[in-house]
Amino acid sequence: MFSPPAAPASAFRSSNVLAGFSAIISLREKFGVHLPAILATADRGHDRKDSAAKFDIRVLDKLLKPAALRALLTQWRILEGALI
């Protein structure tokens, strides 16, 4: 059996609105745990960010900046350590 990914990331294209959300939600359901998740998108609309917030998915704007991704992953690692 596979272990869950530490933090799934999904890319979003406006031509397929639900694909990014669906991939993340499917992983959460498959492993039965709430995984922190990232959705990378060039769509800067508030509705997309609001939808992501409902599923507790962080949105990072494309072009993805390595420093922003690193900061988010570091923040999650610190929070995870605090919960143990």
Residue 24 lies in a domain: yes
- The confidence band for 12, taking pLDDT boundaries of 50, 70 and 90, is low
Q: How many domains does the chain contain in total?
A: 1
Question: Could you tell me the residue range of the domain that residue 59 belongs to?
Answer: 9-83
Residue 63 lies in a domain: yes
34: Cβ–Cβ under 8 A, 6 or more apart, which residues? 28, 56
Residue 21 lies in a domain: yes
Residue 62 lies in a domain: yes
Quote the pTM value.
0.72
45: Cβ–Cβ under 8 A, 6 or more apart, which residues? none
Q: pLDDT by residue (tens digit) across 30-69? A: 888 888 888 888 877 788 888 889 989 888 888 888 999 9
Residue 16 lies in a domain: yes
My answer on whether omega of the bond before 63 falls inside 30° of 0, hence cis, is: yes
